[in-house]
Amino acid sequence: MEIREIISKEESSRVFPLIADIRNHLTLASYLEVLKAAREEGYKLLGLYEGEDCLGLMGYRILSDFVHGRHLYIDDLVIAPKERSKGLGPVLLERAHEIGASTGCSQIRLCTGVDNTRGKSFYEKNDWSLRAVVYKKKL
């Protein structure tokens, strides 16, 4: 297995079904549009590959703020449904740790939905701590 950055429009399009698994409101066109804008803000998308098959994705960016300092923020983390519970998620989290450490980050953080019980259980099993509640308001 190897982890590599997904850069081209073609490769980005090929992995869209994985992103759509957790972002089902997106169409291919809207995904590519948001991806382009996010990349301009430092977003990187990594794929976990076995041969040519993408088994999982992690999208992240390096951020700085007054609460967390310089940190790696994971926007997206998804494993192909047929590949779940095979230890692949921790492989991507470990890569996040390596990237964060090598870029001077003090921590890694992410958000997940309050109703994502499977995801919350996964993060807690991998030594992540629930540290915040996020509020949103539509404009």
| One pLDDT digit (tens) per residue for the chain, 139 residues | 999 999 999 999 999 999 999 999 999 999 999 999 999 999 999 999 999 999 999 999 999 999 999 999 999 999 999 999 999 999 999 999 999 999 999 999 999 988 999 999 999 999 999 988 888 999 9
Cβ-contact 76, 57 below 8 angstroms: yes
Q: Cα–Cα distance between 80 and 89 in angstroms, integer?
A: 10
pLDDT score of 51: 94
Cβ-contact 105, 68 below 8 angstroms: no
Q: Cα–Cα distance between 39 and 44 in angstroms, integer?
A: 6
pLDDT score of 133: 85
Q: What are the distances in angstroms from CA 112 to CA 8, 28, 54, 108, 116?
A: 27, 22, 22, 14, 7
Q: Which domains does the chain have, with CATH numbers?
A: 2-125 (3.40.630.30)
pLDDT score of 134: 87
